[in-house]
Structure 1
Amino acid sequence: MIGLDSPVVAVLGPRGPKIAKAMERLGVRTVGDLLHHHPRRYLAVAELTRLEELEEGQVLTVVGEVAGTQRHQYTDRRTGRTAYRVEARLRTDGPSLTMTFFAKAKHVSDWHERRLQRGRRGLFTGQAKVFRDQWQLTNPRMLLFGEDGVGPGGPGGADDVGADEADARFLTEQLRSLYPIYPLTKGLDSWDVQRAVAFALTLVDDVPDLLPAEVRARHGLPDTLTALQWLHLPDSRDQVGEAHRLFRFEEGLVTQLVLGRRRRVQAAQGTVARPGRAEGEGLLGAFDARLPFELTAGQREVGEVLADELARPRPMHRLLQGEVGSGKTLVALRAALRVVDSGGQVALLAPTEVLAQQHHRSITALLGDLAGGGMLGGAAEATRVVLLTGSMPRAARKEALLAAASGEAGLVIGTHALLEPEVTFADLGLVVVDEQHRFGVEQRAAAAAKATTPPHVLVMTATPIPRTVAMTVFGDLEVATLRELPAGRAPVQTSLVPVTERPVWLDRVWARVREEVEAGHQAYVVCPRIDADDPEEGTVDQVDLDAEGNPLPPAHRLASVEEVATDLETGPLAGLRTARLHGRLSPEVKDATMRAFAAGEVDVLVSTTVVEVGVDVANATTMVLLDADRFGVSQLHQLRGRVGRGGLPGLCLLVTHVPPGSPALERLEAVAATTDGFELSRLDLEHRREGDVLGAHQAGGRSSLQRLRVLRDEETIVAAREEAERLLDLDASLDAAPRLAEAVLVLEASVESDFLDKS
């Protein structure tokens, strides 16, 4: 009996062990894995495949028609014997391709000519190459339509591959109007997978459903076996669409059940309410009285929401998102001061030392003598603000640890170092996580574990997130959004500098920087590399893909901080005060460099993306982003948000060497055309692979969503969340749906095991 748990080799035929080894590289080990190895696209059998621009070396699978065949006789130089070369011209909807077959015997060449008669159609696969100005399909394999439509092989003798011919006949019998093309690896052809899948579907008739029948009926979804047949052997694209709808809903429902259960656990927990003092009193009252500006309406509204949730005896779990420069840090600080007024402590977790140091500097400056708790000159209501990072000197680290453990420090700002076992708090009441996309639920849980009772949690992100992304990735959090920018924020003009088309424009870029500096302002120059090919730790390049999904290489040698700084100092910016900043520098050097830049002692800061968030220098008006195509859309939006913060108009120049018409150039043009972060975040999701957005940091144990796409499948996500709530209301343990319960436990366990591994 062949079942879903049977090894995949059971349905692979004579070449089974070799194919099974290749399939294992794709994670396909069982028949069940094979049936859930979904096609990536389909070819319409009745239509010639449309080919756009071909690329040398790409592997093609096309429906084509033989337009003509020629046989050439020649003498084999190695043997001195007569040999034959058969050339067939293949017509597609686009460029024609030439296929060449070599034969040692005349009857083999006759066989090639017979099967490749003019007008014959079939599926052809091979590597595209150019030979004598003609596109060739090298080492072609084929599945011909009609009688005697057989695959690779010959009429007998040394070229005979009888098993392949039997496979081809089986495939021809199974052929529908759409032919599936599967994700492949070396040593595996699409019809190896298709033959195995088609054979498995004739044997396996017991495929249990993940979803209960009433859930499928409520949403008009097919059963799993029907969906698999429609997916692998479809008669129409409607069938493919219905199959996808089932599997995407399944993934959405399991994810939403995990998040829904987490929300319910959190809601059931008790904690210490942190209502603060009466309005106008305490640390928060003193801080508000000293603010030299008015809060925006959005800041006041979100502040009231946070105050209400902090005053409740159950933990707050809130995501605070907003545009670059919308004042999220100020909102978080006011919430933190409310907790300190209630006798609790606050931990602010930042992803990098540069950002942690910047937060420490800016918050201490905002508080003034209110940050001088226990110190000479400190205000009566003051608390103490301390910094804790992994590379601090031992004495300073010991002092910070003692201040946190004793409760002397009301606000402790740090990096991942805050999560280390020796860090303790007297009464941790609030955990603030900055730049959530750099952390995951595991780190949030580790920070929360520092408290004796569950703390309130406030998560901040400056990358605006569409509603469905927030619902999927941060589904255990309630969302608050700041859209309004504070007064004094000047517009930032963004211009594209396509160096390939306009090489002289690069000279104008540096002239523009010099003009701004001579006007008394400062500038950033951001590079994707530190030195040569060394990227900033933790960063991932934005990489565009070719037609077959392969990464496109950089258009040229990528700009690096060390090389660019040297070139500018001796070239176009000679005489200006420049400095370098990147993650490989010591914490002391990084801090000193940022202090010097903030104090106006540096004209041009050449850096990596360590300045992406949190860095606030009011006098900086210009940002030059070199090799801007290597940064994601949201990252570009974040980076340009570093200028125009002091009421002075900002300028952002996107320098790129990518060729005209490339997807990267279109992406950069879109960034230059709008400053709406929410619109750009959707564009970012459309251009980036989903795994970059929904990675383990955010999904908490899964590298990415497998089937679901948060923009394309908005309706599915919303429906899945509503269904999850309905099921949990009826039966929180999901006893009535054991297979669904098992899938939820597997995902929950993957989150926990990932957390334990990282601990």
Structure 2
Amino acid sequence: MGGDGAAPIRASEALRKKLAKIGLQREADLLVHLPLRYEDETCITPVARAAGGRPVQVEVVVHGNEVQYRPRRQLIVRAADASGEITLRFFSFYPSQQAALSAGSRVRAFGEVRGGFFGAEMVHPRFRKVGDDEPLPTELTPIYPSTAGVANSALHKLIARALESADLADTLPDELRQQLKLPGLARSLRFLHTPPPGTDLDTLHARHHPAWRRVKFDEVLAQQLSLRRAWLARREQGAPVLVARDDLGARLLDRLPFGLTGAQLRAMAEIARDLGQPYPMQRLLQGDVGAGKTIVAALAACQAISAGWQAAFMAPTEILAEQHYLKLAAWLEPLGVKVAWLSGSLKGKARREQLAAAAADAQLIVGTHALIQEGVDFARLGLAIVDEQHRFGVAQRLALRKKGSNPHQLMMSATPIPRTLAMSYYADLDVTVLDELPPGRTPIKTRLIADSRRDELVGFVKKHVEEGRQAYWVCPLIEESEALQLQTAQETYATLLAEFSGLTVGLVHGRLKADEKQAVMAAFAAGEIDVLVATTVIEVGVDVPNASLMVIEHAERFGLSQLHQLRGRVGRGAHESSCVLIYAGPLGEVARQRLKIIYEHTDGFEIARRDLQLRGPGEFVGSRQSGVPLLRYADLEADADLVEMARGVAENMLTAHPELAERHLQRWLGSREELLKS
């Protein structure tokens, strides 16, 4: 914050270590460490008028205290003011607190008053001893996020001192700030740290006050500036210029038994343009389940290959990676493309052969995390494709990029990203959306049934399979857990073997060896298995058109994204498809909401939007967060207009006011911005 903002917090070494646990290291960090809530200690409420439902402050004289041991150890303090008596109850306390609450002590206690067996009482109030006629505070009391060993009063003093000495010069030019109708930053921060008496607490707590709006805008702007700067920095890096020298892509399209959708053609045009640039592409290709991302990736690989470079295709699981390998090899090998395969289960001579191919003449290398292991070298990597990119961390994606000379990167996700999330957490990427499904995808009917109707469901599945179709039966655990009493894959497999006499039941889960998993999946794809009992290893990438029924055990335990992904394994053939969600009651409120959303919606983008509302952005974007700062104050849904505003301002600031942009980033992110540069 100017010169002093980067200085470390002036405190003892022990206190600095505790503050670091909550992200407070610089004086500047204290200024933007804002209250969770506020308490009004500017007035005294008589005990007789202290109604429940809202915290109040009472000033009382202690009559006496005692430690009781039933039903549990607790400190009971009897006290009173002129209007009535009150009990202060503490279930955990120190001897020093008991001494401070001895008979005759005058204390101010803050908390919610409720009716107890012995009349009015406060449970675990915040209190302090006071003298006769001690003046009341003139400001509301801010309550800050803290950690063990750091009292709110200590934080308050540190922040007050930082406010006095800080350079709070505004990073928004006056004309721009007035145009955006935002108050000044210095005024906003001082107001939020020390709101005057009479300020509406509801407005403060709901974060609707103009001062909160300014702070939220600045926070979003810092994120946008950082991500936009990372985006611009990539334009300064060199990358292979991948211009096709032959018609490999056209020949692949000619061999396909289907045509591309308009969305796929638009996506391919955007990617083809990027690959021809002298700076690295970093594009996210997102589309709903079954939108046809794999063929777009294959055509991108064709462009790299026909330009004389290699393409690598990395997927998070062996089942998914092998599905991609088999499909891509079937498409490209007849066209003369050499496709290599690398996975963790590949051993001995077979592994050495594939490693040699990657380092020499293989043009497309498909695999799992094995692609980024030490000892894996590429001859001329020009394009790195990462499927289900949210399952990989920043470091893993960076490791693949480092295998080549700054190759272009295409990341894919079948978990649609809500628009507000894409604008904020993915602002450093170019985003392409496949918003159109290929023709022939049959609608999937979703059904909810209680666990008590399991026998009825077994009969339904048996009838379905006897008509010549196949079914998945998905379970959340592999073996019995005492902590989570769920139907397990192994138990279900044993039960269905007995129930479905004359039918073939298979089992696949993450603890099987890779070749065992592959054998089961190949048998299911060939129609040799009627009912496949599985864990979520079949969540993505599995494509069996004859499988038109999906049963999901304990659906209330799955996230919305997983449920939508699993449901997308059916509906890939000509038959009407169903997804049956079995739930066990009683349902919690969040589980009830999730099941309602998945039952009512099939559009992945709408499901993702609702999922964001339920979970918040931190959990939604997962491992990507190792490189992107989370928003602490802004809410992506409620403050979407601020995200829109900040995007435009960030672009303008970086070109017209780079020095203000730098100061703004230092104020809000400091050294944390370095994380984004990976």
TM-score between the two structures when normalised by the length of structure 1: 0.74
**3-state SS of the aligned residue for 2:235?**
helix
Cα distance in 1, alignment partners of residues 302 and 20 from structure 2:
55
Partner of 1:384: 338
SS class of match (2:165): coil
Would you say the 8 A contact 2:286–2:433 is kept in 1? yes
- 2:432 is the counterpart of 1:480: yes
Shift in Å at residue 597 of structure 1? Answer: 1.5
Closer, same or farther in 2 for the Cα pair 1:585/1:221, shift >3 Å?
Answer: same
How many residue pairs are counted as aligned between the two chains? 643
Looking at structure 2, the residues matched to 443 and 561 of structure 1 have their Cα atoms a distance apart, in angstroms, of 31
Residue identity matched to 1:297: G
State the identity %: 37
User: Are 1:242 and 2:196 an aligned pair?
Assistant: no
Specify the code of the residue in structure 1 equivalent to 2:579. C
1:746 aligns with 2:674: no
Q: Distance in 1 between matches of 2:587 and 2:299?
A: 48
Q: 2:257 is paired with a residue of what secondary structure?
A: coil
Cα 1:516–1:181 shift into 2, 3 Å: farther
Deviation at 1:243, TM superposition (A): 3.2
> Alpha carbon RMSD of aligned pairs, Å?
4.3
In structure 2, how many angstroms separate the alpha carbons of the residues matched to 1:520 and 1:446? 46
Q: Following TM superposition, by how much is the alpha carbon of 1:701 offset from its aligned partner in structure 2, in angstroms?
A: 2.6
Alignment CA distance shift 1:37-1:168 (3 Å): farther
1:173 to 131, 137, 144: 137
Is 1:298 the counterpart of 2:263? The answer is: yes
Structure 1 partner of 2:124: 140
Tell me, in whole angstroms, the C-alpha distance in 2 between the residues paired with 1:523 and 1:131: 58
- Letter of the 2:234 partner, please give it: Q
Alignment counterpart, residue 395 of structure 1, candidates 349, 353, 360: 349
Q: Does 1:527 align with 2:475?
A: yes
Secondary structure of residue in 1 paired with 2:551:
strand
1:375-403 Cα deviation digits (max 9, x unpaired): xxxx4x41122211123112221111111
Give the equivalent residue in structure 1 for 2:187. 226
2:633 partner SS: coil
1:254 aligns with 2:222: yes
Equivalent of 2:321, from 339, 342, 356?
356
Q: 1:321: how far off?
A: 1.0
Whether 1:709 and 2:635 are equivalent positions in the alignment is yes
- Out of 345, 352, 363, the residue aligned to residue 310 of structure 2 is 345
Q: Which residue of 1 aligns with 2:594?
A: 667
For residues 74 and 591 of structure 1, do their structure 2 counterparts lie closer, same or farther at Cα, with a shift above 3 Å needed?
A: closer
The counterpart of 1:124, out of the listed 94, 111, 129, is 111
1:291-330 matches, cutoff 5 A? 291-330=256-295
Stretches of structure 2 that go unaligned for 5 or more consecutive residues are 44-51, 81-85, 92-96
Distance 1:737 1:616, change over 3 A: closer
| 1:573, distance to aligned residue in structure 2 (A) | 4.5
Residues 434-491 of structure 1, C-alpha deviation per residue, up to 9 Å, x if partnerless?
Answer: 1121124433332222223x32222111111122322222222222111211121111
What does residue range 444-455 of structure 1 map to in structure 2 within 5 Å? 444-452=397-405, 454-455=406-407
Equivalent in the alignment of 1:276: 244
Q: Which residue of 2 aligns with 1:435?
A: 388
* Separation (CA, whole Å) in 2 of partners of 1:286 and 1:77: 83
* Aligned-residue offset at 1:109: 7.4
Distance 1:642 1:44, change over 3 A: farther
For 2:156, which of 191, 197, 202 is the aligned residue? 197
Matched, 1:724 2:650: yes
Name the aligned partner's letter for residue 663 of structure 2: R
Give, in whole Å, the separation in 2 of the partners of 1:32 and 1:168. Answer: 37
Give the Cα separation in 2 of the matches to 1:627 and 1:469: 29
| Mapped partners of 1:233, 1:201: distance in 2 | 9
Higher mean displacement: 677-686 or 197-206 = 197-206
What letter corresponds to residue 730 of structure 1 in structure 2?
A
Alignment of 1:640-659 (within 5 A): 640-659=567-586
Instruction: Give the partner amino acid of 1:416.
Output: H
Q: Deviations over 1:595-624 (max 9, x none)?
A: 111112222222222211111111111222
* 1:671 CA displacement: 1.2
Answer yes or no: is the 8 Å Cα contact 2:76–2:88 preserved in 1: no
Which residue of the partner structure matches residue 581 of structure 1? 508
- Distance in 1, matches of 2:517 and 2:119, equals 54
Task: Tell me, in whole angstroms, the C-alpha distance in 2 between the residues paired with 1:504 and 1:649.
Answer: 26
**How far is 1:413 from its partner?**
0.6
Deviation at 1:86, TM superposition (A): 4.6
Determine the structure 2 residue equivalent to 1:155.
none
1:86–1:101 contact (8 Å) kept in structure 2: no
Match of 1:566 in 2: 494
Report the alpha carbon displacement of residue 226 of structure 1 after superposing the two structures with TM. Answer: 2.8
Q: Which range moved further: 193-202 or 588-597?
A: 193-202
**Paired AA for residue 529 in structure 1:** L
* Structure 1 counterpart of 2:171: 212
Q: Equivalent of 2:410, from 433, 437, 458?
A: 458
User: CA 1:33–1:567 in structure 2 vs 1: closer, same or farther (change >3 Å)?
Assistant: farther
Tell whether the 8 Å contact from 1:496 to 1:672 is kept in structure 2 after alignment. yes
Equivalent position SS for 1:504: helix
Distance 1:75 1:272, change over 3 A: closer
What is the alpha-carbon distance in structure 2 between the residues aligned to residue 75 and residue 314 of structure 1?
72
- Structure 2 residue aligned with 1:539: none
**Residue of structure 2 in register with 1:509 after alignment:** 457
Q: Is the 8 A contact 2:42 2:138 kept in 1?
A: no
CA contact (8 A) 2:223 2:629 kept: no
Measure how far apart 1:258 and its partner are.
Answer: 2.3
> How many angstroms does 1:31 deviate by?
6.5
**1:109-162: CA deviation from partner (whole Å, max 9, x where unpaired):** 7989xx99xxxxx74169x9x998x999774325xxxxxxxx35xxxxxxxxx4
Deviation at 1:644, TM superposition (A): 1.0
Name the CA distance, whole Å, in 1 between partners of 2:531 and 2:675: 46
**One-letter amino acid of the structure 1 residue matched with residue 423 of structure 2:** M
- Given the two structures, how large is their TM-score scaled by the length of structure 2? 0.82
The question of whether the paired residues in 2 share the 8 Å contact of 1:167 and 1:195 is answered with no
Cα drift, residue 36 of structure 1: 3.7
Is residue 363 of structure 2 the alignment partner of residue 410 of structure 1?
Answer: yes
The letter for the 2-side match of 1:605 is L
- Aligned counterpart for 1:40 among listed residues 23, 36, 47: 36
Report how far residue 42 of structure 1 moved.
4.8
**Could you tell which deviates more after superposition, 355-364 or 36-45?**
36-45
Q: Is the 8 A contact 1:321 1:482 kept in 2?
A: yes
Cα distance in 2, alignment partners of residues 104 and 709 from structure 1: 42
1:423 aligns with 2:376: yes
Paired residues for 1:675-694 under 5 Å: 675-694=602-621
Offset at 1:199? 7.7
Specify the SS of the correspondent of 1:729.
Answer: helix
Shift of the alpha carbon at 1:262? 2.3
Counting only pairs closer than 5 Å after superposition, residues 610-649 of structure 1 correspond to structure 2 as 610-649=537-576
Q: Alignment partner of 1:348: what SS? A: strand
CA displacement at 1:653 relative to structure 2: 1.8
Q: Report the 3-state secondary structure (helix = DSSP H, G, I; strand = E; otherwise coil) of the residue aligned with 1:525.
A: strand
Find the aligned partners of 1:662 and 1:167 in 2 and give their Cα distance. Answer: 50
Per the TM alignment, residue 663 of structure 1 is displaced from its structure 2 partner at its CA by 2.4
Change (3 A) 1:98 1:677: farther
* Matched residue type, 1:750: L
1:205–1:225 CA contact under 8 A, matched in 2: no
Q: 2:233 aligns with which of 265, 276, 294?
A: 265
Note the C-alpha offset of 1:348: 0.6
Task: Return the structure number with greater relative CO, CA threshold 8 A, min gap 6.
Answer: 2
Q: 1:709 to 1:168 in 2, by over 3 A?
A: farther
8 Å CA contact 1:211–1:250 kept in 2: the answer is: no
Asked whether the equivalents of residues 42 and 139 of structure 2 are also in contact (C-alpha less than 8 Å), the reply is: no
CA distance in 2, matches of 1:649, 1:135: 65
